[in-house]
Chains A and B, each alone.
Chain A
Amino acid sequence: GESVGLHLPTLSVQEGDNSIINCAYSNSASDYFIWYKQESGKGPQFIIDIRSNMDKRQGQRVTVLLNKTVKHLSLQIAATQPGDSAVYFCAELKTSYDKVIFGPGTSLSVIP
Chain B
Amino acid sequence: NAGVTQTPKFQVLKTGQSMTLQCAQDMNHEYMSWYRQDPGMGLRLIHYSVGAGITDQGEVPNGYNVSRSTTEDFPLRLLSAAPSQTSVYFCASSSRYSYNSPLHFGNGTRLTVT
Contacts and interface: CB of A to CB of B under 8 A. Distances in A.
A86 to B, nearest CB: 13
Contacts of B48: 98-99
B108 A99 contact: no
A68 B64 CA distance: 35
B98 to A, nearest CB: 6
Contacts of B104: 46
A98 B40 contact: no
B80 to A, nearest CB: 26
Interface residues of B, number: 28
Contact of B42 (A45, A89, A93, A98): A89
Contact of A43 (B44, B45, B98, B108): B108
Contact of B102 (A43, A46, A104): A46
B107 A95 contact: no
A99 B59 CA distance: 9
A42 B100 contact: no
A105 B39 CA distance: 10
A44 B45 contact: no
Contacts of B59: 99, 101
A14 B33 CA distance: 36
B45 A101 contact: yes
Contacts of B42: 89, 102-105
Interface string A99-111: 1111111000000
19 contacts: A34-B102, A34-B103, A42-B107, A42-B108, A43-B92, A44-B90, A44-B103, A44-B105, A46-B102, A46-B103, A49-B99, A49-B100, A51-B99, A91-B43, A98-B31, A98-B97, A99-B58, A100-B97, A104-B41
